[in-house]
Chains A and B, each alone.
Chain A
Amino acid sequence: AQSVTQPDIHITVSEGASLELRCNYSYGATPYLFWYVQSPGQGLQLLLKYFSGDTLVQGIKGFEAEFKRSQSSFNLRKPSVHWSDAAEYFCAVAPATGGFKTIFGAGTRLFVKA
């Protein structure tokens, strides 16, 4: 069955520390991969996406993600976290060959401590 797993329900990091949010997927073929961020009371904002090519993808707000086919993972990273990064982060996969059945993970809530 197709699925997206974000193993960490919540993560706390200190401001200025590095961040890695995990995402694993189960899919029949290499899908399109996305990371979104959701601030409280707002809709999701697209951070970055992977379609093909270079497996290290750069996004907005200083985020990057690395696609590892052998591990079926698409982890999100940021070298230095700012207090404004506190939010919920969602990983998502979509079929590359047609259809609209985007599957979202359950999300990881990031807390940033001073």
Chain B
Amino acid sequence: NAGVTQTPKFRILKIGQSMTLQCAQDMNHNYMYWYRQDPGMGLKLIYYSVGAGITDKGEVPNGYNVSRSTTEDFPLRLELAAPSQTSVYFCASSRDRSNQPQHFGDGTRLSIL
């Protein structure tokens, strides 16, 4: 039972670089989410998806992009990394909206220098 798997666990980027945070789930969940967690703050929703091919913006989408070509995978892309994007990123999934979000990955700790 892998659940939600995120890679990498840690990454340091330079300002202006780009990268993709990977997220995969093996529970056949329709709903997937990306959150960021800043120190002393609750999670903020970046993007979410209700199924393959369908994505929508959350509370803090600027500077990020997502895609959902399969049910399993929901990658998050940073195109031009900025120091304000230094954070811990969590991917999550749920079977439906009423259980949102239920299963979390262990996070990716990203530093932009």
Is A13 in contact with chain B by the CB < 8 A criterion? no
Contact mask B1-44 → A, CB, 8 Å, 1/0? 00010000000000000000000000000000100000011111
Those of B84-104 within 8 Å (CB) of chain A:
90, 92, 97-104
CB of A46 within 8 A of CB of B106, answer no
Q: How many A-B residue pairs have CB under 8 A?
A: 53
CB pair B107–A94 under 8 Å, yes or no, is no
- Measured between alpha carbons, how far is A51 from B99 in the docked complex, in Å? 10
Number of interface residues of A (CB under 8 A): 22
Contact yes or no, B100 A102, CB < 8 A: yes
Interface pair A101/B106, CB less than 8 Å apart: no
A84 to B52, CA, bound (A): 38
Is A92's CB within 8 Å of the partner chain B? yes
Contact (A103, B100) CB under 8 Å given A43-B90, A43-B92, A43-B106: no
* With A43-B107, A92-B42 as contacts: A102 and B98 at CB distance below 8 Å: no
Total residues of chain B contacting the partner, CB 8 A: 25
**Contact with B104, one of A43, A51, A102, A103 (Cβ below 8 angstroms):** A43
Q: Which residues of A contact B (CB under 8 A)?
A: 4, 9, 32, 41-46, 49, 51, 90, 92, 94, 100-107
**A–B pairs, 26, beta carbons within 8 Å:** A41-B106, A42-B104, A43-B4, A43-B92, A43-B106, A43-B107, A44-B90, A44-B92, A44-B104, A46-B103, A49-B99, A51-B98, A90-B42, A92-B43, A94-B100, A100-B45, A100-B48, A100-B56, A100-B97, A101-B45, A102-B45, A102-B100, A102-B101, A104-B42, A104-B43, A106-B42
